[in-house]
Structure 1
Amino acid sequence: MSGIYLHIPFCKQACSYCDFYFVTRTSEREHFVQRLIEDIESYRDSKFTDETVETIYFGGGTPSLLEPAQLEQIMEALYDIFDIDAREITLEMNPDDVSGQFLADLKSLGISRASMGVQSFEPELLEFMHRAHSSEEALQCLELLSASDFDSFTVDLIYGNPGQSVEQLKSDVKKLLAFDPPHISAYSLTIEPKTRLGKQVELGRIAPPEDDKVAKHFDIINQLFSSHGIERYEVSNYSMPGKEAIHNSNYWKHENYLGLGPGAHSFWWDDSAERWENEEDLRKYLRDEDQPEREVLSLKQLAEERLMMGLRTRKGVGIAELSERYDYVLSSRQLDYLENREQEDKLEVDERITLTDEGIKIADAIILDLVTLH
């Protein structure tokens, strides 16, 4: 079993770009923690406890809004119910929640990896994103992380913002690299329909960034990170050697995982492969009334997913793996397509299919074309 994901849905305020499930009423945190523990305990002696849990991930929302004592209760319940041999336990946090004592408390609970949502150090961009923290808080938090016992942490950056200049991007990256982060997740700003940003774009108040500008930002990030020994291993993820995220990497390889909390996804593949998603409704979750719908996935669906996820990574997808695990053989049309893209230096094909840096820029288009041609 690859891991357990726990969705902590509380946020101080709504970021303009975020379409993950969250609530800004934080008064129900204690009630939520107790319900989450009940949820964990409901898996006792089930088939889901037969496999060893290697990773635990607290995501959200903002998990750092929970008190260390509440996190300790959740951790105790997990270790009581599941067979855990953790290679990585990650907790997402926002800079305005962090103190030296908070980090020390997390470390004492066994949390081994911090995920810091910085996004930018530019005050005007933080305001545009409607982030709760300031540039000063972000820098102070990174100083605390660097001085802490966490030898594994990751920082989020967002590029391709409307109005974001090349100089601003380079400044953000240089400020971040000064702290020698072992891992960085750098995301191109995406416009999601139901978000605050999506509504502003729909109303014509904000123009989304042009593709050429986003591609230029991508090149700058790759160049600056690489010169610092931080290499891309997935479209949005970069790390120093050996510091790749284990939990997220296992999602891309169809390892089993359970998602706990409102809006969390689960995937389990034994005799058949199933995926389900908890309802995005905290009140229903607290009343134990959520009814997740389960989807049974065919081998073809799984193979297409593996192509979609694997081609976004540096390692790509093994042709033998597609055949042996998914009973998926590339068609003549797909092979012709791959040969043409290889001549354009968009990808490479030998025992594996891997996208080049140029191919990664249009990864979604290549993947869609490839899947459609089967």
Structure 2
Amino acid sequence: MSGIYLHIPFCKQACSYCNFYFVTRTSEREHFVKRLIEDIKSYGDTRFSEETVETIYFGGGTPSLLVPAQLEQIMQALYEVFDIDPREITLEMNPDDVSAQFLSDLKSLGISRASMGVQSFEPELLEFMHRAHSSEEAMQCLELLSASDFKSFTVDLIYGNPGQTTEQLQRDVKNLLEFNPPHISAYSLTVEPRTRLGKQVELGRIAPPEGDMVAEHFDIINQLFSRQGIERYEVSNYSIPGKEAIHNSNYWEHENYLGLGPGAHSFWWDDKAERWENEQDLRKYLRDEDHLEKEELSLTQLAEERLMMGLRTRKGIGFENLKQRYNYTFNDRQLEYIERMVDEEKVVADEGVKLTDKGIKIADAIILDLVTLH
């Protein structure tokens, strides 16, 4: 097995852009931890517990709303059930939950990587995103993280916000780079339906970000990060060499992973490939009444997914990998399209296909064109 993802669904408040499953009632945390441990133990002596687990990822929601004692109980259960040989154990956290003692406790539990949701240091942007933390808390948190024993950590940043100026973005990047982060996830703001932001855009109260502005922000981020030796290795992910996220990289390469908790996704490929999502309902999860629907994936579906994910990465996708693992080869129309993209300096093609910096800006369009030509 490649990894285990644990979805901790609690949040203090709803961020305006977030479409992940969460609840703002936090009174059920203790009940949830007990149920999660039962869930973990249900996988004992199954095919899922036979493979070695290399990565564990606590996501959400806000995993830092759990206290170290609760996290310790979860970790103990994982080690009892699964064969764990960890290369990376990550926990997402928000700045307003962090103290020096909290970070020390996490490290003592074996958590090796912190994922800090800063998003911005600009007060008005934090208010627009409806974040629970302040600019001062974000700075203090990164100071604590830099001074801690965490040698591997990542910081989230969001750009392309409506009305966000280049000066604001440059300040955000400058403030962030002062802490020498080994990894940064920088996301262009996406307007998702059924979110607070999506509703405001739908009602015409907020204009969605303009494409030209987002492209300019993307260029600024790439240039400023690169100057500090932090290079893009996926559309939204940047790191210094050797600090790439192992858990997320395994998602992109179709390694097996098990998702635990309401709303978590799983993917498992042995004699057949299956994907399933836990129901997004905490109450049903607590009563052990949540419903799973498994989807079996064909080799063609897997190949197209691998193309979509691989082309978003710096490595791209190799012709031999597609042929050997997915029995997939490009047809004449696809090869002609790739040649045209090479001429336009959007694609590099040798033993495989990868997008250039010019191509990565329109990655979704190129991937869609390529897949539909098959």
Query: Structures share a fold, TM > 0.5?
Result: yes
Distance in 2 of aligned mates of 1:198 and 1:138: 26
Partner amino acid, structure 2, of 1:77: A
In structure 2, the residue corresponding to 1:121 is in which secondary structure? coil
Partner amino acid, structure 1, of 2:365: A
| Pairwise CA distance, 1:86 | 0.2
| Pairwise CA distance, 1:128 | 0.1
Distance in 2 of aligned mates of 1:228 and 1:315: 21
In structure 2, the residue corresponding to 1:229 is in which secondary structure? coil
Q: Which residue of 1 aligns with 2:344?
A: 344
Partner amino acid, structure 2, of 1:129: M
Distance in 1 of aligned mates of 2:65 and 2:136: 19
Distance in 2 of aligned mates of 1:7 and 1:209: 30
Distance in 2 of aligned mates of 1:326 and 1:123: 48
Which runs of structure 1 show a deviation greater than 3 angstroms over 4 or more consecutive aligned residues? Answer: none
Identity of aligned residues (%): 83
In structure 1, the residue corresponding to 2:191 is in which secondary structure? coil
1:1-374 aligned within 5 A: 1-374=1-374
| Pairwise CA distance, 1:352 | 1.5
| Pairwise CA distance, 1:291 | 1.3
| Pairwise CA distance, 1:89 | 0.1
1:169-196 deviation per Cα after TM superposition (whole angstroms, max 9, x unaligned): 0000000000000000000000001000
In structure 1, the residue corresponding to 2:69 is in which secondary structure? helix
Distance in 2 of aligned mates of 1:142 and 1:166: 23
Distance in 1 of aligned mates of 2:292 and 2:116: 30
Distance in 2 of aligned mates of 1:332 and 1:325: 21
In structure 1, the residue corresponding to 2:184 is in which secondary structure? strand
In structure 2, the residue corresponding to 1:259 is in which secondary structure? strand
Distance in 2 of aligned mates of 1:361 and 1:275: 29
1:37-59 deviation per Cα after TM superposition (whole angstroms, max 9, x unaligned): 00000000000011000000000
| Pairwise CA distance, 1:299 | 0.1
Cα RMSD for the two superposed structures: 0.3
Distance in 2 of aligned mates of 1:256 and 1:172: 36
1:304-334 deviation per Cα after TM superposition (whole angstroms, max 9, x unaligned): 0000000000000001110110000101000
In structure 1, the residue corresponding to 2:342 is in which secondary structure? helix
In structure 1, the residue corresponding to 2:43 is in which secondary structure? coil
| Pairwise CA distance, 1:371 | 0.2
Distance in 2 of aligned mates of 1:200 and 1:291: 32
Distance in 1 of aligned mates of 2:360 and 2:329: 23
Partner amino acid, structure 2, of 1:183: H
Distance in 1 of aligned mates of 2:193 and 2:50: 40
| Pairwise CA distance, 1:200 | 0.1
In structure 1, the residue corresponding to 2:78 is in which secondary structure? helix
1:1-50 deviation per Cα after TM superposition (whole angstroms, max 9, x unaligned): 11000000000000000000000000000000000000000000000011
Q: Which consecutive unaligned segments of at least 5 residues does structure 2 have?
A: none
Q: Which consecutive unaligned segments of at least 5 residues does structure 1 have?
A: none
Distance in 1 of aligned mates of 2:77 and 2:209: 45
In structure 1, the residue corresponding to 2:86 is in which secondary structure? strand
| Pairwise CA distance, 1:199 | 0.2
| Pairwise CA distance, 1:98 | 0.2
Distance in 1 of aligned mates of 2:183 and 2:34: 33
| Pairwise CA distance, 1:209 | 1.1
TM (normalized to structure 2)? Answer: 1.00
In structure 1, the residue corresponding to 2:247 is in which secondary structure? helix
In structure 1, the residue corresponding to 2:233 is in which secondary structure? strand
Distance in 1 of aligned mates of 2:17 and 2:209: 14
| Pairwise CA distance, 1:294 | 0.1
| Pairwise CA distance, 1:101 | 0.1
Distance in 2 of aligned mates of 1:94 and 1:310: 30
Aligned residues between the structures: 374
In structure 1, the residue corresponding to 2:104 is in which secondary structure? helix
Partner amino acid, structure 1, of 2:186: A
1:79-108 deviation per Cα after TM superposition (whole angstroms, max 9, x unaligned): 000000000000000000000000000000
TM (normalized to structure 1)? Answer: 1.00
Distance in 1 of aligned mates of 2:140 and 2:352: 43
